[in-house]
């Protein structure tokens, strides 16, 4: 994961949760950040906008940490890049 990707994901989470950016680090769990189920879908919505990707419900359901979220976005971006290169 690139530092830039981590910074963008943590930035979106901080902005959506209205918490200081420095409080969102890669090893934090959603529980530690007091992100409940409704906050979670709000973050997914913001990330979809930030990265122009569709995050499937099934994949999103299992995510519990900032790291898992960032890894998920990385995979979706890779899939998107591959789809674009084939197009």
Partner 1 sequence: MNNRVVVTGIGTVSAFGNTFCDFWTGLAEGRSAIRAMKLVPPGSVRFPNGGEVPDFHASSYFDEKEAMMLDRFAQFASVAAREAVQSSGIEFIPELGERTAIILGSSGGGKTTEDEGFHSLYALSQPRVSPLTIARAMSNAGASRISFEYGITGPVYTISTACSSANHAIGQAFRMVRSGEVEVAITGGSEAPFTLGFLKAWEAMRVVSPDTCRPFSRDRRGLILGEGAGILILEPMDRALARGASILGEVAGFGMSSDAFHITQPSPVGAARAMRAALADASIHAEAVGYVNAHGTGTTANDSTETEAIRSVFGEHTEKLLVSSTKSMHGHALGAAGALEAAATIGALRAGIIPPTANFNEPDPACDLDVVPNLPRAAEVQWALSNSFAFGGLNAVLVFRKWLEP
For partner 1, the binding residues (CB under 8 A) are 36-38, 41, 44-45, 57, 60
Of 62, 72, 74, whose CA–CA distance to 1 is shortest? Answer: 74
Nearer Cβ to partner 1 (6/73): 73
Q: How far is the CB of 16 from partner 1 (least distance, A)?
A: 13
Tracing tokens 């976005």 back to the chain, one arrives at 73
Q: How far is the CB of 60 from partner 1 (least distance, A)?
A: 7
Q: How far is the CB of 69 from partner 1 (least distance, A)?
A: 15
Radius of gyration of the chain (CA): 13
Nearer Cβ to partner 1 (22/57): 57
Residues whose CB is less than 8 angstroms from the CB of residue 15 and which lie 6 or more positions away in sequence, other chains included: 21, 46
């Amino acid at each position: 994961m690139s530092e830039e990707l981590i910074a963008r994901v943590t930035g979106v989470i901080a902005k959506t949760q209205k918490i200081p950016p420095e409080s969102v680090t890669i090893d934090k769990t959603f529980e530690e950040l007091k992100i409940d189920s409704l906050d979670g879908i709000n973050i997914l919505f913001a990330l979809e906008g930030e990265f122009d990707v569709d995050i499937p419900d099934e994949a999103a359901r299992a995510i519990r940490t900032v790291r898992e979220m960032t890894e998920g976005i990385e995979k979706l971006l890779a899939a998107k890049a591959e789809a674009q290169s084939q197009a």
